[in-house]
Amino acid sequence: MTDVSNRIPRSRQKEAPRDAYRWIGRSMKRVEDPRLLTGHGTYADDIHLSGMAHAAVLRSPHAHARIKSINTSKAKALPGVILVMTGAEAAEQAGPLPCFANPPVKQMCIAVDRVRHVGEPVAAVVAESRYIAEDALELIDVTWEPLPVMADPEAASRATGDGVLHPDRGDTNIAFRRSFDFGPVDEDFAQADHIIRRKLRWPRSGAQPMETVGAVAEYNPGTGKFTIYANTSMYNYVGWLVAVSLGVPAHRLNIVPTLAGGSFGSKIFTHRVMVIAATLARASGRPVKYIEDRIDNITACDAHGCDRIYDVELAVKEGLMTGLKCRVIDDYGAYFQFGVGHHGNSLSQITGPYRLRSVRLDLTAVLTNKCQQGAYRGFGSDVSNFVLERMVDTAIAELNDDPIEFRRRNFIQPDQFPYLIPTGNMYDSGNYPAVLDRALGLLDYAGWRKKQAEARQNGRYIGIGVATCQERSVFSATEFWMLNEEPGFALTSSPESVSLKMDPTGKVYVALQAPFWGNSPETVATQVLAEQLQIDPQDIIVTYSDSDHGLNGTGPGGSRFTVMLAGAVVGAAHQLREKLIRVAAHMMEADTNDLELRDGKVGVRGVPGMEKTFAEVALHAHYFRLSMPDDPSLTSGLDAAHVYDHPVTTLPADDRKDLGIFYPIMGHMCHLPVVEVDIETGKVRFLAYAAVHDCGTLVNPMTLAGHVRGGVAQGIGTALYERYYYDQQGQLLTASFMDYLIPTVHELPDEIVVGHVETPSPFTEYGIKGGGEGGRMGAPPAVASAVEDALRPLGVKIDVLPLTPRYLRTSIREAQRRQVAAPA
């Protein structure tokens, strides 16, 4: 790979932001909703195929063990059982699951000679009903040889021999070990007048959407082709990798998306469930439905969130932050599907909204006997936001500075954009002081500081949290491999596509390449297309392409879908517009330059009566070829397709001192929660919450606010309630919803007041930026900040999540004892 220059590429924006729109910017009711409201949405478990059978999976009770024997004879003999398959049998028919790490870590859809985490599939049963399949699971006899359990990443990093999970990769559980320097780190620390040090712990929580992962697979023995219905994404990007796992050429697999009942990253690829369902379908000769139950999903969804231990140092000189050093141990679990992509992600915004000029990242990724990490809303930047803001709060406390003014002083200023951060990524635009001021106003920050002072006099512990964080959007494919010693498959494409057609009656069809996750792709596509064509949204219908018919489309993730979809729609709409105008020009004997689209018609600018409806133009375009000019480019019909590539991305430098521009569409947020801590019980309640987000031009403010609030709710879950808790034997103690605690309405603020600031991107269509993940990326640091502020009189420091009542009460009790023992 050649050296890269760090010049910022020219913008390819076709549609500049403007002051007024017809459809963009409206809080339009969602197009998706009628079928969801009436119970007529089709989710994975709603798929019913004739002759369909049902699968269930035997989950490993051990965290680490060799499978000595599996006896399936009793299970097979149970009436209603069609097939029982062990991992060894599955491995004869299906190869390893896709892995983006290099070198890859081999994962089979069903464990073969050993299990590496509690819940890992050990065998699968196909039966006439899920009930019978589960009965059969109880009849499978497995004998085990337990192996040393790697439950602690530090211990795991030192293990050899039997404690190594993947000996074929070497006699170590360390999957990745590398240090990166960006900018003059040593110099900044040598010249600092103050160095802040802190150890921080971010344990794993996870998406836990209300719908689990599921697939219905059928195999046609006449064509040798699989069809898999699944609540998956990326089927039009890397779906063919599933065909590779199944041992068939890519065109012998069609993946058909169902609605997803939430994903938050956990359904980004769903390879294991699809490969299990398809393998069982081929082997049994029946269509097979495999839907994870909740325990399957909690223990083995392949999508746990980040799990990290940080040792951090921050250099400050004259009140300005200069350098940041992070030593991180990341507990990745038993497999490594995304490699250290989560850390590439962090490096896109690791310096936050501040003018920090150097960064050192010392990263050790360790494999342990837990479910592997996947993608969870934030994908690593949620953690680095937490880490940075904790360091900022610490600096403020140690320097006796003001939480607002310190941040303001350190902000990148509005006239400094586009801004290159030390890692090489670019922030395209922003106005951080404006977001901060808006948030302070929305909350009535000054008012709450007064109330806090009074409350402290009355023995109440009220805290105001401050978090000013970045929310990057639109990932580039480079983040997946740029940190590897050897890149492996160094892909650089992450496009999105749409195809459009207008039928002879003037209705417009938009086909998407990626699924519905609860984001609002149909509404976004409709609003942008309506804006482009000046057509009534009622005349637009959005459909979803399966992989047979799909174009290259990366799908949702990394807050990219709205931006990328808008880009694809604009590109295709431009082509469609041009053709509409050409046909209409011919029909009206006008000059194409004099025509415009208005209200579902093509008309002569400035001449109200001279126009043709889209229906008239479309009919003509479809059927009357011979009455149009003899120009080969004027084909019958009205259709267009567009592949929209990432609008601005560059390669990393060979020496990786510059990672290139890889996540530049940079949103920003300020979260200000107010909490009260009951110091006797450790319970936290919210008194207020303001969140201001800058996501550039807003397509639909209502749906964006929905994502902010939903993300805040998940962030509050991460901060106060949720943890996948593994004990020393690798047993998952939070294996059901009884112990994995998802917030209800009662645990959240009465109102999350959402504000918007818009600094458009110079690079995207209409200046749109993504905003799907922001809420969850801001709430954990904000809540940690608020609790620490509340407990400031007691000197309790917040270094760890979740802040359960037991954890806080214990910290408070210890702090009170310290105060009694050594009064100030």
Partner 1 sequence: MKPPPFEYVRPVDLDGVLGALAQNSGETKILAGGQSLVPMMNLRLVAPKRLVDINRVPGLDRIARDGDRLLIGALARHTDVLTSPVVREYAPLVVAAYRHVAHRPIRNRGTIGGNLAHADPASELPAVMLALDAEFVLRSLAGERQVAAERFFLGTFETAARAAEVLTAIHIPLAAGSRRWGFEETSQRQGDFALVAVAVTFAVDGGRCANPRLAYAGAADRAVRIAAAEAALEGQSPDQTLFEQVAAKAAEAADPPEDLHADAAYRRDLVRALTRRALSAAARG
Partner 2 sequence: MPIASESVRVTVNGTMYERNVEPRLLLSDFLRHELGLTGTHVGCEHGVCGMCTILLDGRTARSCLAFAVQADGCQIRTVEGLGTADALHAIQEAFWEMHGLQCGYCTPAMLMAAVELIEANPNPSREEILETVGGILCRCTGYQTIVEAVELAARRTRERAQ
Residues in the site for partner 1, rule: CB under 8 A? 130-131, 134-135, 138, 293-295, 680-683, 721, 725, 733-734, 736, 739, 741, 743-744, 746-747, 804-806, 809-810, 813
Q: Shortest approach of partner 1 to residue 800 CB, angstroms?
A: 16
Residue number, 604 or 748, with CB nearest to partner 2: 748
Q: Per CB under 8 A, does 712 bind partner 2?
A: yes
* Pairwise CA distance, residues 802 & 209, whole Å: 19
Cα–chain center distance at 695: 16
Residue (of 425, 367, 346) closest to 8 by Cα position: 425
Residue with tokens 């011979």: 626
* Pairwise CA distance, residues 534 & 112, whole Å: 57
Q: Per CB under 8 A, does 702 bind partner 2?
A: yes
Residue number, 80 or 262, with CB nearest to partner 1: 80
Measured CA to CA in angstroms, residue 210 lies from 207, 271, 293, 737 at distances of: 9, 19, 11, 11
Residue number, 44 or 234, with CB nearest to partner 2: 44
Q: Shortest approach of partner 1 to residue 209 CB, angstroms?
A: 17
538's CB contacts (< 8 A; 6+ apart) are: none
Of 745, 821, 822, 824, which one interacts with partner 2 (CB under 8 A)?
Answer: 745
Residue number, 27 or 413, with CB nearest to partner 2: 27
Residue number, 15 or 722, with CB nearest to partner 2: 722
Q: Report the partner that residue 14 touches, choosing among partner 2, partner 1, none (CB closer than 5 to 8 A by kind).
A: none
Q: Shortest approach of partner 2 to residue 752 CB, angstroms?
A: 6
63's CB contacts (< 8 A; 6+ apart) are: 115, 116, 117, 118, 149, 151, 369, 370, 726, 729, 730, 731
Of 752, 757, 787, 790, which one interacts with partner 2 (CB under 8 A)?
Answer: 752
Q: Report the partner that residue 7 touches, choosing among partner 1, partner 2, none (CB closer than 5 to 8 A by kind).
A: none
* Pairwise CA distance, residues 755 & 708, whole Å: 10
Q: Per CB under 8 A, does 751 bind partner 2?
A: yes
Q: Report the partner that residue 680 touches, choosing among partner 1, partner 2, none (CB closer than 5 to 8 A by kind).
A: partner 1
Q: Shortest approach of partner 2 to residue 297 CB, angstroms?
A: 9
Asked whether the CA dihedral 742, 299, 341, 243 is positive or negative, the reply is: negative
Q: Shortest approach of partner 2 to residue 37 CB, angstroms?
A: 4
Q: DSSP 3-state assignment of 167?
A: helix
Of 201, 737, 793, 806, which one interacts with partner 2 (CB under 8 A)?
Answer: 737
Cα–chain center distance at 22: 30
Q: Report the partner that residue 45 touches, choosing among partner 2, partner 1, none (CB closer than 5 to 8 A by kind).
A: partner 2
Q: Where are the alpha helices (DSSP H) in 598-748?
A: 614-623, 701-716
Of 45, 152, 181, 444, which one interacts with partner 2 (CB under 8 A)?
Answer: 45
Site pattern 204..233 for partner 2 (x: CB under 8 A): ---xxxxxx---------------------
Residue number, 39 or 823, with CB nearest to partner 2: 39
Measured from the Cβ of residue 127, the count of other Cβ atoms closer than 10 Å reads 25
The answer to whether residues 594 and 604 touch, using CB atoms and an 8 Å cutoff, is yes
Q: Per CB under 8 A, does 41 bind partner 2?
A: yes
Tell me which residues in 627-666 interact with partner 2 (CB under 8 A): none
Q: Per CB under 8 A, does 526 bind partner 2?
A: no
* Pairwise CA distance, residues 538 & 276, whole Å: 40
Residue number, 43 or 807, with CB nearest to partner 2: 43
Beta strands 53-59 and 288-291 are parallel
Q: Shortest approach of partner 2 to residue 378 CB, angstroms?
A: 15
Residue with tokens 């991305």: 649
Q: Shortest approach of partner 1 to residue 455 CB, angstroms?
A: 19
* Pairwise CA distance, residues 685 & 282, whole Å: 53
In this structure, what are the phi and psi dihedrals at residue 143, rounded to the nearest 5 degrees?
-110, 145
Exposed, middle or buried by CB within 10 Å (0-12, 13-18, 19+), for 439?
A: buried
Measured from the Cβ of residue 497, the count of other Cβ atoms closer than 10 Å reads 27
Q: Report the partner that residue 43 touches, choosing among partner 2, partner 1, none (CB closer than 5 to 8 A by kind).
A: partner 2
Residue (of 564, 526, 563, 559) closest to 643 by Cα position: 564
Residue (of 764, 588, 585) closest to 666 by Cα position: 764
The answer to whether residues 531 and 23 touch, using CB atoms and an 8 Å cutoff, is yes
Of 112, 397, 634, 748, which one interacts with partner 2 (CB under 8 A)?
Answer: 748
Strands ordered across the beta sheet of 611-613: 595-598, 601-604, 611-613
Q: Per CB under 8 A, does 294 bind partner 2?
A: yes
Q: Shortest approach of partner 1 to residue 723 CB, angstroms?
A: 9
Q: Shortest approach of partner 2 to residue 57 CB, angstroms?
A: 15
Q: Report the partner that residue 748 touches, choosing among partner 2, partner 1, none (CB closer than 5 to 8 A by kind).
A: partner 2
Range in contact with partner 2 (rule: CB under 8 A) among 113-121, 147-155, 528-536, 745-753:
745-753
Looking at the DSSP bridge assignments, the partners of residue 549 are none
Q: Report the partner that residue 799 touches, choosing among partner 2, partner 1, none (CB closer than 5 to 8 A by kind).
A: none
Q: Shortest approach of partner 2 to residue 324 CB, angstroms?
A: 31
Q: Report the partner that residue 661 touches, choosing among partner 2, partner 1, none (CB closer than 5 to 8 A by kind).
A: none
In this structure, what are the phi and psi dihedrals at residue 210, rounded to the nearest 5 degrees?
-70, -25
Measured from the Cβ of residue 748, the count of other Cβ atoms closer than 10 Å reads 17
Q: Shortest approach of partner 2 to residue 96 CB, angstroms?
A: 31
Residue number, 37 or 250, with CB nearest to partner 2: 37
Q: Report the partner that residue 66 touches, choosing among partner 1, partner 2, none (CB closer than 5 to 8 A by kind).
A: none
14's CB contacts (< 8 A; 6+ apart) are: 570, 571, 574, 765
Residue number, 213 or 581, with CB nearest to partner 2: 213
744's CB contacts (< 8 A; 6+ apart) are: none
Residue number, 538 or 810, with CB nearest to partner 1: 810
Q: Shortest approach of partner 2 to residue 27 CB, angstroms?
A: 8
The answer to whether residues 352 and 470 touch, using CB atoms and an 8 Å cutoff, is yes
The answer to whether residues 465 and 783 touch, using CB atoms and an 8 Å cutoff, is yes
Q: Where are the alpha helices (DSSP H) in 411-509?
A: 432-443, 445-457
Q: Per CB under 8 A, does 517 bind partner 2?
A: yes
Q: Shortest approach of partner 1 to residue 297 CB, angstroms?
A: 11
Exposed, middle or buried by CB within 10 Å (0-12, 13-18, 19+), for 75?
A: buried
* Pairwise CA distance, residues 348 & 385, whole Å: 11
Beta strands 753-757 and 683-694 are parallel
Q: Report the partner that residue 806 touches, choosing among partner 1, partner 2, none (CB closer than 5 to 8 A by kind).
A: partner 1
Residue number, 291 or 435, with CB nearest to partner 1: 291
Residue number, 514 or 735, with CB nearest to partner 1: 735
Range in contact with partner 2 (rule: CB under 8 A) among 113-121, 564-572, 612-620, 711-719:
711-719
Range in contact with partner 2 (rule: CB under 8 A) among 24-32, 94-102, 150-158, 549-557:
24-32
Tell me which residues in 257-286 interact with partner 2 (CB under 8 A): 259-264
Q: Report the partner that residue 210 touches, choosing among partner 1, partner 2, none (CB closer than 5 to 8 A by kind).
A: partner 2
First to last CA, the chain: 60
ω into 418 cis (within 30 of 0): yes
Residue number, 403 or 771, with CB nearest to partner 2: 771
The residues binding partner 2 (CB under 8 A) are 27, 29-30, 32-43, 45-46, 48, 131, 207-212, 259-264, 293-294, 516-520, 702-703, 705-707, 709-714, 736-738, 742, 744-746, 748, 751-752, 775
